[in-house]
A and B are shown apart, each in its own frame.
Chain A
């Protein structure tokens, strides 16, 4: 049943890809806000609320920091 090892290796590799994606998502702050995204999709107009500007500003400052470091 050597193919089991192949499947396990591939399974673990796929799982690690997802794990990396998960860690990135958490660090990126993707899940910090667990309410607004669900509401935001209901509005298809251009996004320009104050809240969103603040989000973007935060993103900006984070990215600046990451470039420096």
Chain B
């Protein structure tokens, strides 16, 4: 058998590893900032760019797509060539992939802080960046599948199966959830509205957890845990079985994010069912990871890499048990909209993703630099401080989440809400928030220890740029089609090529043709009194989205007595049919706003109250943790955008009259003047063209449509 010489390129792995570390520090730093902002509202430094509604998406995007994303690429670019005994397919594509991804991250941070957001959690980036992500992802895919095709080992190791599933599914999720109609260079509306948008978003959102935070990290685990322990995985058979079952089940669990919402019940039940089923394949992975270390526990005692892996995999096991439990309706009734969810997510993020990444880096960096880790002691200290950090982070949030939920639901013996003032349930949590921030800062300190250790390690060694290796050729078939075989035979012989073609076909064919036409005539139950937003309300709604209000305020009243007493009539699917995007939210740091505008409702406030509250929430509510928004009273509404916005909405099927875009600004100014006059009557001098007027108009519209006297419900 002829031996072929080839090389492993360590430079690209090093680049991705360094990017992981840099973005890790940035993402965690922003995380600490938002953790402080949530109980010290002044921490936005009176800047609109750094208010919680904008910094929180920067944090989530930075840690998910920058920190974890680069960690995934580090693992792929290191392990795949070694598993397949080949170089990566293309160095150039690798470079484009690397720099493209980093540029997207920088652009994401800038645009999010500037207020360009699609208003959908974990998919906040606007359409130009969505396009860029798609292109870079395709380049990553070509590089990955190209490498698989030129492999010298026939067997595809299980880690690579996890990488393949990641690539395919993330591509589909991203494209389907990001179909939007641009109305300007940087802004767009999603084609889906209301409850449909919510379903697509959480189908995406949950699978982003599944296929960005879970499957690639299982791949990482299946490579780096055996390597670090120098032991084969406990059961290769189990890894195969749990891989296939995991990817087939995961995709249907999304609706568990919408339990008790106005999503049809059968879909909620479907989400719960699949979530419970997920325990088996998830624990398959956890058990396989942990049992790999059987007989090697003496190593675990000494080696910080293995310690981190053990805590990471254990956190994965805990989070994947807790998740299905939270998707049970009875548990979800308490956990949803509270900090419990935030705690749950961070067990996964800090434990599973963080610890596995740290372990990988401590194992990898000395090998890339052909030296020993600068300080094992420091790495051990990092391990302990991170583990403590996770406890200090999560436990207060569990306590806080349950405390708040129970306070929301508490009634007096007379049948009134025991804590009718929402703020009471918030101030109760401040000590918990402070402890959480302490936990977060411990985790950041640990990360800085890693930075120091990595720099020192890199300095004492020298980068092994390329490793020369040799392996016998895998007898390859001619790459081009031979005359004697049919096209399909050729495709069948190249299954991965077939996979690519099939995926591309799905994306182009299904997505761009079928979906928009499907959605114009949606069969959500129609409520005839629900009308499109007026131009002023639409502008106000876009400000609501821009400021990221959904990060703290929900717009979804669940059918519980504790909620209808507090907020008013529970939410109906038909109320949201013109909401591009939906703004249900997933966390109630502040009260629900779905019925904010209902004059007879329990939480109605007059225009003047809202005006003063936006300018200075603490003046209206002592102890409020909402940041001040004084710039809303200074900035003018962007009147030029009204016509394109109305046109885009009409294209999405919102029934504005013909040629309404020409008349829209007249209507807008008229309605704005009414509100300004109303404010003047209350003694507030303001111009009618300010953003705050539009936002007040939107807030006062919320939930009012079905309260109109002439309500006639037509179910279709």
Contacts and interface: CB of A to CB of B under 8 A. Distances in A.
A55 B154 contact: yes
B510 A9 contact: yes
Contacts of B247: 18
Interface in A34-58: 34-42, 44-48, 52-53, 55-56
A33 B227 CA distance: 20
Contacts of A17: 168, 499, 502-503, 506
Contacts of B196: 1-3
B413 to A, nearest CB: 41
Given A18-B248, A38-B236, A56-B474, A10 B493 contact: no
Interface string B509-536: 0110011001101111000000000000
The prevalent SS among residues of A at the interface is: helix
A60 B476 CA distance: 9
Given A3-B199, A25-B156, A56-B1, A46 B498 contact: no
Contacts of B267: 1, 4
Contacts of A65: none
Contacts of B82: 41, 44
A46 B200 CA distance: 47
B226 A14 contact: no
Contact of B165 (A18, A20, A52, A63): A18
Contacts of A14: 168-169, 172, 251, 506
A4 B202 CA distance: 12
A2 B155 CA distance: 42
A68 to B, nearest CB: 9
B506 A47 contact: no
A2 B653 CA distance: 14
B223 interface: yes
Contacts of A11: 251-252
B481 to A, nearest CB: 12
A59 B240 CA distance: 21
Nearest to A27: B495
Contact of B251 (A15, A34, A40, A53): A15
The prevalent SS among residues of B at the interface is: helix
B195 A1 contact: yes
Contacts of A10: 172, 176, 506, 510-511
A17 B199 CA distance: 23
Contacts of A44: 82, 469
B488 interface: no
B477 A5 contact: no
Contacts of A7: 176, 199-200, 203
Given A6-B518, A13-B506, A17-B502, A35 B154 contact: no
B233 interface: yes
A38 B233 contact: yes
A67 B477 contact: yes
Contacts of B244: 18, 22
Contacts of A9: 510, 514
A63 B485 CA distance: 14
B232 A42 contact: yes
Contacts of B165: 18
24 contacts: A1-B196, A1-B522, A2-B196, A3-B522, A4-B199, A6-B176, A7-B200, A7-B203, A13-B510, A17-B502, A20-B499, A22-B244, A24-B495, A28-B495, A37-B157, A40-B155, A41-B157, A41-B227, A45-B469, A46-B470, A47-B85, A47-B152, A55-B154, A56-B475
Interface of A: 1-7, 9-11, 13-18, 20-22, 24-25, 28, 30-31, 33-42, 44-48, 52-53, 55-56, 59-60, 63, 66-67
